[in-house]
């Protein structure tokens, strides 16, 4: 069952700061900040929300279809998608731009500061949902501003159910635009910080947002997740790990679990638990696409964590 993944494809330059940002920033001097962080380690990874979600969905034996844009430097990403068996037929190449680039610095407490160059993402609105063909479910993840707005309207017009996942793109939209996304969406997925920003900008409480969609999912890091659906809240536990290595892409792994569970007809407790497990698997590896458990390994870890097997 094909899942359409609208969002960014990007190259991530990931750096590690061995201290804590809070120790280097003075709260009363943030209006004239001038600070440098020594980052002894640096690496370049394949990333972007669409790429990360598709990668994790493929691990689950799902059927991801990416709708995104790449720049003049994107050939290696196209070759990677082909090698992974992920369709690139809805990926548009924009020769006049660079592929989107994220520069991510993570401190010792797993806090992150990210600088992002959108590049080819600015042309995401040139992609058309109708070109994807039949899909079971879509997700509108962070992408070019115009593309996110247009893809949401197109999904609604074509009656394609979709998850609205504003992520780091949330600040691009005002309250009226965010309320429009919510009205058009079937599901909304945010982390706890984004949830607070969403309620502040829309003037709607989490409960009011949940009333307008089939489910509102709020991830809470090491505290698991809350799923608001059918007038109740389902608490999803976090799956403990021996070592937290890199949080980059954990939210995307969680959303891949959501897509798989929903397209397979799983109930929300099982869908949420599978999503939580995918996030925990990812966080023990560097980068957003370097973990590679088999389907059998994922199923075994699910049973170990929750005491039953998912369908």
Question: In the structure, what pLDDT confidence band is assigned to residue 32 with cuts at 50, 70 and 90?
Answer: confident
What is the biggest distance separating any 2 CA atoms in the chain, rounded to whole angstroms?
54
Provide the pLDDT for residue 286. Answer: 87
Provide the pLDDT for residue 30. Answer: 75
Specify the pTM: 0.91
Is pLDDT at 15 greater than 80 in this prediction? yes
Give residue limits of the domains in the chain: 2-11+47-100+119-306
By DSSP bridging, strand 91-93 and strand 100-106 are: unpaired
Query: With contact defined as beta carbons under 8 Å apart, do 152 and 186 qualify?
Result: no
Question: In the structure, what pLDDT confidence band is assigned to residue 7 with cuts at 50, 70 and 90?
Answer: very high
- The pLDDT of 209-231, averaged and rounded, is 97
Q: Among residues 280, 165, 169, 269, which one has the least CA distance to residue 221?
A: 280
Q: Among residues 146, 144, 199, which one has the least CA distance to residue 175?
A: 199
Cα Rg, the chain, nearest whole Å? 19
What confidence tens digit (pLDDT) does each residue in 243-269 have? Answer: 998 888 999 999 999 999 999 999 999
Fold of the 2-11+47-100+119-306 domain: 3.40.1190
Q: Among residues 150, 116, 149, 114, which one has the least CA distance to residue 130?
A: 150
Alpha helices in 19-122 (DSSP H): 21-24, 49-59, 75-84
What confidence tens digit (pLDDT) does each residue in 101-113 have? Answer: 989 898 998 788 9
Alpha helices in the chain (DSSP H): 21-24, 49-59, 75-84, 145-157, 175-184, 192-202, 206-212, 250-263, 268-283, 295-306
Query: With contact defined as beta carbons under 8 Å apart, do 194 and 169 qualify?
Result: no
């Amino acid at each position: 069952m094909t899942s359409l993944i609208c969002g960014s494809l990007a190259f991530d330059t990931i750096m590690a700061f061995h201290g804590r940002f809070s120790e280097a920033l003075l709260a009363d001097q943030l209006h004239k900040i001038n600070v440098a962080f020594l980052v002894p380690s640096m690496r370049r990874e394949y990333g972007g929300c669409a790429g990360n979600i598709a990668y994790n969905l493929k691990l689950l034996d799902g059927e991801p279809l990416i709708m995104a844009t790449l720049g003049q430097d994107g050939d290696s990403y196209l070759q990677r998608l082909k090698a992974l068996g992920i369709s690139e037929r809805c990926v548009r190449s924009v020769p006049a731009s660079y592929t989107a680039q994220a520069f991510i610095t993570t401190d010792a407490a797993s806090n992150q500061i990210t600088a992002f160059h959108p590049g080819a993402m600015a042309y995401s609105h040139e992609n058309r949902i109708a070109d994807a063909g039949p899909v079971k479910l879509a997700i509108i993840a962070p992408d070019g501003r115009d593309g996110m707005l247009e893809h949401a309207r197109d999904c609604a017009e074509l009656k394609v159910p979709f998850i609205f996942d504003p992520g780091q793109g949330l600040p691009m939209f005002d309250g009226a635009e965010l309320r429009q996304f919510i009205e058009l969406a079937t599901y909304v997925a945010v982390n706890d910080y984004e949830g607070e920003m969403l309620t502040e900008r829309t003037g709607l409480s989490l409960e009011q947002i949940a009333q307008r969609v089939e489910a509102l999912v709020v991830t809470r890091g090491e505290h698991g997740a809350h799923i608001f659906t059918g007038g109740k809240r389902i608490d999803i536990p976090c799956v403990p790990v021996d070592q937290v290595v890199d949080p980059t892409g954990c939210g995307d792994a969680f959303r891949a679990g959501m897509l798989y569970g929903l397209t397979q007809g799983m109930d929300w407790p099982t869908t949420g638990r599978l999503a939580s497990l995918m996030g925990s698997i990812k966080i023990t590896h560097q980068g957003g696409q370097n973990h590679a458990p088999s389907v059998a390994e994922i199923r075994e870890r699910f049973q170990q964590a929750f005491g039953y097997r998912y369908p």
